[in-house]
Amino acid sequence: MTAPETSTPATTVRLARTVAITSGKGGVGKTFFSANLAAALARQGLKVLVLDADLGLANLDVVLNLYPKITLHDVFTGKAQLEEAILPAPGGFSVLLAGSGLVEYSRLTPEIRDQLVTIFEAVKPRFDVILIDTGAGISDVVLYAVSMAHEVIVVATPEPTSMTDAYATIKVLSTQQSRENLHLVVNQVGRAGDGRSICNQLQQVVERFVQGPNGVAPKLSYLGDIPLDTSVREAVQKRQLVLELHPGCAASQGVVQVATRLLARS
């Protein structure tokens, strides 16, 4: 007599929410924001990974005061396993760090593309949220890193050059990747309300001059602003997260509010 067959329900693999954090120009505090956003999300009980996708000019390790012996470069070249490159970071999240000064990562080759995809697919089931900290600008490496994410946060400052470059980034992401919705965070804001005003101005320009493949201009979702705060400069100099060094300062509160809004829009 044979035993009755039993069936087990299929298990669903939960994949991480993937968010690319990018900017039109350097110097807007994108990487510092990425690290502190990760810490704010980790405080919500989420398992968070920051993937440093600025492959040739990485500085996430500097922001976090980490001295990695193994980076993505070692994984790419087969010198180390992926598990060895995933490191704990201050703030309760994990990081995958890239190298710095590596000319071979200045352009997107088929090998780099395939390696990024392999690593990205391997880490997605392990985390709740993956933040992809891209390089600045609209190079092919940056755009490909952005393309791997479901959502995009564009970081800008109130400076005219940053606004112009943010617009250029939004236009490229709309026309080349058919992005219909983009998040916006305005950093280094001097007055309350300026961030939302900047978002509204950008939206007006986008609606006037940008038309995606579907014939519709992308919508900007305003996540919040980070006030201009001397605590940030101190945290940068000390290579610490502002959320840990000064958790009650205006900049820290701004990051926490951005994290809360991001989660509410999931």
Half-sphere exposure at residue 159, Cβ-oriented, CA atoms within 13 angstroms: 16
pLDDT for res 3: 40
Q: Which of 128, 127, 145 is nearest to 136 (CA)?
A: 145
Rounded to the nearest 5°, which phi and psi values hold at 153?
-110, 120
pLDDT for res 15: 84
Q: What average pLDDT values come out for the chain (266 residues) when binned by 10 residues?
A: 42 81 93 98 98 86 93 90 96 90 70 91 97 92 94 97 96 95 97 93 96 90 97 97 98 98 91
How many Å apart are CA 259 and CA 131, to the nearest integer? 12
**Neighbouring residues of 242: CB distance < 8 A, sequence distance ≥ 6:** 32, 36, 229, 231, 232, 235, 249, 251, 252, 255
pLDDT for res 54: 86
Place of tokens 């089931």: 125
- Region of 136 on the Ramachandran plot (φ > 0 left; ψ -120 to 50 alpha; else beta): beta
pLDDT for res 171: 96
pLDDT for res 58: 77
pLDDT for res 43: 97
Architecture of domain 17-261 in CATH?
3-Layer(aba) Sandwich (3.40)
Where are the domains positioned within the chain? 17-261
**Neighbouring residues of 226: CB distance < 8 A, sequence distance ≥ 6:** 29, 33, 185, 186, 187, 188, 189, 232, 251, 254, 255, 258
Q: Strand order in 151-156's β-sheet? A: 86-89, 93-96, 48-52, 129-136, 17-23, 151-156, 181-189, 219-227
pLDDT for res 57: 77
